[in-house]
Chains A and B, each alone.
Chain A
Amino acid sequence: MRKYWTIITTMWARALIHRFTIVAYRTGELFEIVFLLILWTALFKGRDTISGYTIQEMITYVLVGNLVSIVTRNFLTDFMTKEIKDGALSIFVVKPITYLRYVLVRELGRVSLPFLISLVSQIGIMLIFARQLVIHTSFVHFALFIVMVAFAFLIEFFISFLIGATAFWTDETDGLSQTIYRLKRFLSGGYFTLSLLPALYIQISLALPFAYSFYVPTQLYLQKLTLWQGLKGIGIQIIWIALLYLCIKLVWRRGTRRYEGVGI
């Protein structure tokens, strides 16, 4: 346990060096969130509901959804790509810990400071819009929401790992990770609620893992999903976690065979 704690505290020290970056990154995000809120307010002018959402529900959707997105994100792809490209992966041959476990603990440490900064600023925005926020008090819904968010973190982590692993085959993963990030945001309902899409697209999105990092937990929070639907969602998440883990095993085995340890 001590070795994991050492990794986490090292990451905190490193995160403090990059504090300007964290603030810049978060400020950029805040612009988008505030803009989305203003855009929806403009769209709701002269009407009470859009696709079954009131303006209060839509504002809650944007704010709670982005909170979930903050909790579940990681920065693994960039760092993993660099480690593969620079040959830094080689040192894990002698470390008493597997790479997957190491990066999981490292990401927990790395995201904690940005998470705290983002959480404080997000709560700040939520307080500004407090009057328009929908607040539910169902404990069971909330417990399911927390479980779903925890699994979403794991799914996001595995997806980032797989994107990072493409560096075994290609030098440039920046474009791929940016595109997947945007596609993920689109399919997860980050730009707008998936309820605006035709039913078929919603069904497809619900079968993919992305909606569980924004749309589904937020629907659960808004109690637009029943407890049974929430449990079904968690079941789908577990299936995806297992599938992604198997993919990681396969990709890792093939990737390490190709790995040349450049720079050593």
Chain B
Amino acid sequence: MRRYLKLLKILVRVSFIRALMFRAAFYMDIAYSFIWLGLFFIIIQILFSHTEEIAGWSRANLIVLLGVWSFLDDLGAGTFWDGIKRLPDLVADGAMDFILARPVDSQFLIAAERFRFSRVLVILADVGLIAYGLTIGEMAPWHTIILRFPVLVVSGYIIALSVVYLLHTLGFWFLRINNVWALYDGLEGIAKYPLDVFGRHIKLLSLTIVPLTVMFMFPAQALLGRITTLEVLYAPVVAAIFFAVARWFYQYSVRRYSSVA
């Protein structure tokens, strides 16, 4: 464990040096992230200029949901997203050889190799957005937020990591799938709106096979005081299952890998 923490520290430092080398790209990335966030914020304002609520969610509630969604999205993009995105190319080009030959867990190495500091910085803006939404609307008591929110955010993060890994591991099975992120992007994108607008069947799907509700809505609901204890306990279970499946699928797929270099 200590070895991996030391390795993580080195990888973070290397990513930081890389970010300093391409400073223009670093600042531009921050600017783009703010533009995206602003754009979604404007969309919410426009939608709510024509309605009071969407599926029981007020404007303030939706701002909190957008903040949580963006927080988890930036956290994922800032930490593991860029690394895992390379997996299909590593497999197709035979560069996986160099990863597998190293005396560390290859799955860890792929995910942790590229941190994007610009996105981590945008998290501060996401926190500001969440705080704004809570100030103008309802909010759960502090003690329940402290107990529940971290559990749900960590669960959401682990599920996102696992789903992204599951999708990109398909690179071992199909040739050239470097745009598979678009599938996750499309799915994740709809979770910035309340999934309560869907019927019962799709809602059930979003709690189990495609757990968007667990990933994004549960943490927002915890801040708003709209979550039950059972739901709080359910999230880590889903996260553990997805993590185990992603881990198993990766190891199973690696056995199939034959170098093409």
Chain A residues close to B by CB (< 8 Å): 17-18, 20-21, 24-25, 27-32, 35, 38-39, 41-43, 50-51, 170-172, 175-176, 178-179, 182-183, 186, 191-192, 196-197
Interface-located stretch among B23-31, B102-110, B149-157? B23-31
What would be 16 A-B contacts, judged by CB atoms less than 8 Å apart? A24-B180, A24-B182, A25-B182, A28-B183, A28-B184, A31-B190, A32-B189, A38-B198, A42-B197, A170-B25, A175-B28, A176-B28, A179-B36, A183-B39, A192-B47, A196-B46
Q: With both chains docked as a complex, state the minimum distance between the C-beta of A27 and any C-beta of chain B, in angstroms.
A: 6
Within 8 A of A (CB), among B21-66: 22, 24-25, 28-29, 32, 35-36, 39, 42-43, 46-47, 49-51, 54-55
Least CB separation from B49: chain A residue: A196
Cα A194 to Cα B119 with chains together (Å): 30
Q: Is the CB of A30 within 8 A of B36?
A: no
Q: Is the CB of B182 within 8 A of A178?
A: no
Q: Decide yes or no: A196 and B50 within 8 Å by CB, A175-B28, A179-B35, A183-B35 being known contacts.
A: yes
What residues of chain A lie closer than 8 Å to B29, measured between beta carbons?
Answer: 172, 175
Interface-located stretch among B7-15, B170-178, B217-225? B170-178
Q: With both chains docked as a complex, state the minimum distance between the C-beta of B87 and any C-beta of chain A, in angstroms.
A: 14
Q: Is the CB of B54 within 8 A of A42?
A: yes
Q: With both chains docked as a complex, state the minimum distance between the C-beta of B198 and any C-beta of chain A, in angstroms.
A: 6
Cα A41 to Cα B179 with chains together (Å): 31
Q: Is the CB of B180 within 8 A of A192?
A: no
Q: Decide yes or no: A43 and B47 within 8 Å by CB, A27-B186, A171-B25, A183-B39 being known contacts.
A: yes
Is B193 part of the binding interface, using a Cβ–Cβ cutoff of 8 Å?
yes
Least CB separation from B30: chain A residue: A175
Cα A170 to Cα B177 with chains together (Å): 26
Q: Mark B111-155, 1 if CB is under 8 A from A, else 0.
A: 000000000000000000000000000000000000000000000
What residues of chain A lie closer than 8 Å to B46, measured between beta carbons?
Answer: 192, 196-197
Cα A27 to Cα B24 with chains together (Å): 34
What residues of chain A lie closer than 8 Å to B184, measured between beta carbons?
Answer: 28
What residues of chain B lie closer than 8 Å to A51, measured between beta carbons?
Answer: 50
Cα A13 to Cα B179 with chains together (Å): 18
What residues of chain B lie closer than 8 Å to A196, measured between beta carbons?
Answer: 46, 49-50
Q: Is the CB of B180 within 8 A of A20?
A: yes
Q: Is the CB of B186 within 8 A of A29?
A: yes
Q: Which 5 pairs show the lowest CB-CB distances between chains A and B? A: A28-B186, A172-B25, A21-B179, A35-B190, A179-B32
What residues of chain B lie closer than 8 Å to A30, measured between beta carbons?
Answer: 186
Least CB separation from B29: chain A residue: A175
Q: Decide yes or no: A28 and B182 within 8 Å by CB, A17-B175, A38-B197, A172-B22 being known contacts.
A: yes
Least CB separation from A179: chain B residue: B32
What residues of chain A lie closer than 8 Å to B93, measured between beta carbons?
Answer: none
Q: Is the CB of A175 within 8 A of B32?
A: yes
Q: Is the CB of B177 within 8 A of A192?
A: no
Is B100 part of the binding interface, using a Cβ–Cβ cutoff of 8 Å?
no
Q: Is the CB of B177 within 8 A of A21?
A: yes
Is B185 part of the binding interface, using a Cβ–Cβ cutoff of 8 Å?
yes
Q: Is the CB of A24 within 8 A of B25?
A: no
Least CB separation from B174: chain A residue: A20
Cα A176 to Cα B54 with chains together (Å): 32
Q: With both chains docked as a complex, state the minimum distance between the C-beta of A126 and any C-beta of chain B, in angstroms.
A: 19
What residues of chain A lie closer than 8 Å to B174, measured between beta carbons?
Answer: 20
What residues of chain A lie closer than 8 Å to B197, measured between beta carbons?
Answer: 38-39, 41-42
Q: With both chains docked as a complex, state the minimum distance between the C-beta of B16 and any C-beta of chain A, in angstroms.
A: 17
What residues of chain B lie closer than 8 Å to A42, measured between beta carbons?
Answer: 54-55, 197
What residues of chain A lie closer than 8 Å to B95, measured between beta carbons?
Answer: none
Is B187 part of the binding interface, using a Cβ–Cβ cutoff of 8 Å?
yes
Least CB separation from B180: chain A residue: A24
Q: Is the CB of A31 within 8 A of B186?
A: yes
Q: Is the CB of B28 within 8 A of A172?
A: yes
Cα A4 to Cα B35 with chains together (Å): 39
Q: Decide yes or no: A191 and B190 within 8 Å by CB, A25-B182, A39-B197 being known contacts.
A: no
Cα A21 to Cα B49 with chains together (Å): 38
Cα A50 to Cα B54 with chains together (Å): 14
What residues of chain B lie closer than 8 Å to A197, measured between beta carbons?
Answer: 46
Within 8 A of A (CB), among B182-205: 182-187, 189-190, 193, 197-198
Cα A191 to Cα B50 with chains together (Å): 15
Cα A50 to Cα B49 with chains together (Å): 11
Cα A17 to Cα B182 with chains together (Å): 17
Q: Is the CB of B186 within 8 A of A176?
A: no
Q: Is the CB of A24 within 8 A of B177?
A: yes
Q: Decide yes or no: A32 and B39 within 8 Å by CB, A24-B177, A196-B50 being known contacts.
A: no
Q: Decide yes or no: A186 and B190 within 8 Å by CB, A172-B25, A192-B46 being known contacts.
A: no
What residues of chain B lie closer than 8 Å to A171, measured between beta carbons?
Answer: 22, 25
Q: Is the CB of A182 within 8 A of B36?
A: yes
B35, B42, B183: the one contacting A27 at CB < 8 Å is: B183
Q: With both chains docked as a complex, state the minimum distance between the C-beta of A262 and any C-beta of chain B, in angstroms.
A: 15
